[in-house]
Amino acid sequence: MAQKPSIPKGTRDFNAEEVAKRSYIMETIKEQFQIFGFQPIETPSFENSETLMGKYGDEGDRLIFKILNSGDYFKEIKHKLSEAGVIVVDFYKAMDVIINKLADINSENYNTRIKQFILESNIDNNRSSDRILSFFIDYKDDIINILQNNENKVRETLFVFYYTAYLMDSDILDSKKASSLISEKALRYDLTVPFARYVVQHQNDIEFPFKRYQMQPVWRADRPQKGRFREFYQCDADVVGSKSLFQEVEFVQLYDAVFSALKLEGVTIKINNRKILSGIAEVIGAQDKLIDFTVALDKLDKIGEEKVKEEMRGKGISEDGITKLQPLFTLKGDFGDQIESLKSILSTSEIGLKGIEELEFINTAISNLKLKTATLQLDVTLARGLNYYTGAIFEVSVPEGVKMGSIGGGGRYDDLTSIFGKPDTSGVGISFGLDRIYLVLEELNLFPSTIAESTKVLFINFGDKEALFSLGAVTKLRQANVKAELFPDAAVSGKQMKKQMNYANRRNIPFVVIMGEEELKSEVFTLKNMVSGEQQKLEFNALLNVLK
């Protein structure tokens, strides 16, 4: 292999520092998940295709990575093509008859005549003659054109047309439809559907309410771009089996606890409720335009009140409805004030008032319990995953001054497991955006400075005798949990010793021990601080004390 090796687009290698930083975030999240009583599960990287397909919409299905069956995966395709080969023979038979009677065919009598000629061609197999007939009927205009304008090349032209239009464009080789013939498994696209599958499959072993967390990679065949990868981790916590709003309260606390533990202070936890959006749609008489309406409303920050109204008019929302929305454009004040405005807008909508009641419950509890560093904020424009969530909707935005999309989100979904045959199991959950949190911590310089520390001390190697003695000391240091290394090769010149010192420097190892012939005799260790350059001679216990 001559070319430089590379990795697939949209994937990443992580070096030691990146692994350490990613682990730091994941361990911090995991610790809080556990303190809040969530239990870990893990599911396989690939699922049966039927578990995943059809759960994410057409666009999602397209982005699922499918795994080719092992062994002779073309077997079924070949079988189908081979059946089609038999039809090719029959097609020739019919074509012979038809071409001999070309003079009898015109566009008025086409269907009747073709049917008759196919009958006359004595094809044994009914399925075959039916398929040939539907070919002639489906492509009538093209075929008449070929029959009338190709003189002595009618046979070839017609056959190639048949082969391309009918056989090649048939389902047999349709990339979308043939997937299930050559692939039975697919890489998971998210953690939510596998979780739903897990809950249904193991329902008899699970105590409900079931609080689980899961931190595993997922894969999407999306077009890679800055910050969007084809393999990335999701970090999810969900509870299924209870409708209690205390769970929404705890998820707000959990976001606060995790971001506080990461020292990422001042995040905003935005909350909305699907029922409020439904209520507003109801009040303005646009129940059927819920999505159009929320998409427009979502742009308020960016394009302003007038343009939002314009868009709504364009989508057919009435002037009367838009007037009723007016208070929404000027929602001001704290959570409580905004709730009051919403109450006046939604006074006639039962579902809207239910949404307000839920929000008030959560807000009251959080005001009472207090958050450490985050702020809870009502955001009526928040509509993520609208088709999916049925109650609370969450999204976390970074502190002001940092440019970054949401670093977390979630909500309540009332019927996730019904797709696998277990209805009426309400769930609510949140997730953390690992890659974005990483970028924010990097930008704000919030990773602990100790994170890049790896090995504490490197013993320079002056030859087998010295090295063996050094390895004895290294072994004892390691047993005391000091990260220690011996350079494996002997330095037989000053230049080589310098190389070993440089190795320590480049790897950010803060100390080296020089254990030459002289030190070996006296059994003392010369410890050099690689930052200050300071050197001291120490017996082993003193050495251990410095390095511990």
Footprint of its own copies on 239-258 (CB under 8 A): 239, 242-244, 246-247, 249-250, 253, 257
Q: Which residues, numbered 9-38, are part of the site for its own copies (CB under 8 A)?
A: 11-16, 18-20, 23, 34-37
Q: Which residues, numbered 488-517, are part of the site for its own copies (CB under 8 A)?
A: 488-490, 503, 506-507
The answer to whether residues 345 and 328 touch, using CB atoms and an 8 Å cutoff, is yes
Say if residue 96 carries a ligand binding annotation. no
Q: Can you tell me the distance from the alpha carbon of 276 to that of 278, in angstroms, rounded to the nearest whole number?
A: 5
Q: Closest distance between its own copies and the C-beta of residue 183, in Å?
A: 5
Say if residue 326 carries a ligand binding annotation. no
User: In angstroms, what CA-CA distances link 105 with 102, 192, 343?
Assistant: 6, 60, 74
Stretch that binds its own copies, among 157-165, 277-285, 380-388, 437-445 (CB under 8 A): 157-165
Looking up tokens 């005798």 gives 465
446 binds its own copies (CB under 8 A): no
Which residue's CB is nearer to its own copies, number 167 or number 382? Answer: 167
The answer to whether residues 187 and 46 touch, using CB atoms and an 8 Å cutoff, is yes
In this structure, are strands 457-459 and 427-432 parallel, antiparallel, or unpaired? unpaired
Q: Closest distance between its own copies and the C-beta of residue 155, in Å?
A: 8
Query: How many residues lie near its own copies (CB under 8 A)?
Result: 124
369 binds its own copies (CB under 8 A): yes
478 binds its own copies (CB under 8 A): yes
Given 146, 147, 173, 444, the residue binding its own copies (CB under 8 A)? 173
Say if residue 256 carries a ligand binding annotation. no
CA atoms within 13 A on the CB side of 361: 16
Given 24, 26, 39, 60, the residue binding its own copies (CB under 8 A)? 39
Task: Locate all alpha helices (DSSP H) within 284-417, ordered by sequence.
Answer: 290-297, 300-314, 319-329, 335-345, 350-369
44 binds its own copies (CB under 8 A): yes
Angle, helices 140-149 vs 110-120, to 10°: value is 80
Stretch that binds its own copies, among 59-67, 109-117, 289-297, 522-530 (CB under 8 A): 59-67
Q: What SS3 state is found at 6?
A: coil
Which amino acid belongs to residue 179? S
130 binds its own copies (CB under 8 A): no
Which residue's CB is nearer to its own copies, number 172 or number 383? Answer: 172
Say if residue 233 carries a ligand binding annotation. no
Q: Closest distance between its own copies and the C-beta of residue 42, in Å?
A: 4
Looking up tokens 């030691």 gives 16
Round to the nearest angstrom and report the end-to-end CA distance of the chain.
47
Which residue's CB is nearer to its own copies, number 2 or number 103? Answer: 2
Say if residue 389 carries a ligand binding annotation. yes
125 binds its own copies (CB under 8 A): no
Task: Locate all alpha helices (DSSP H) within 104-210, ordered by sequence.
Answer: 110-120, 126-138, 140-149, 154-162, 175-182, 192-201
Among candidate residues 33, 27, 411, the one with its CA nearest the CA of residue 253:
33
376 binds its own copies (CB under 8 A): no
Stretch that binds its own copies, among 235-243, 276-284, 322-330, 391-399 (CB under 8 A): 235-243
- The string of DSSP letters for 202-218 reads TGGG-PSSEEEEEEEEE
Q: Can you tell me the distance from the alpha carbon of 546 to that of 525, in angstroms, rounded to the nearest whole number?
A: 12
Say if residue 238 carries a ligand binding annotation. yes
Label residue 533 exposed, middle or buried (CB < 10 Å: 0-12, 13-18, 19+): exposed
- Going by the annotation, the residues of the binding site are 190-192, 220, 234, 238, 384, 388-389
Report the binding-site residues for L-histidine.
Answer: 190-192, 220, 234, 238, 384, 388-389
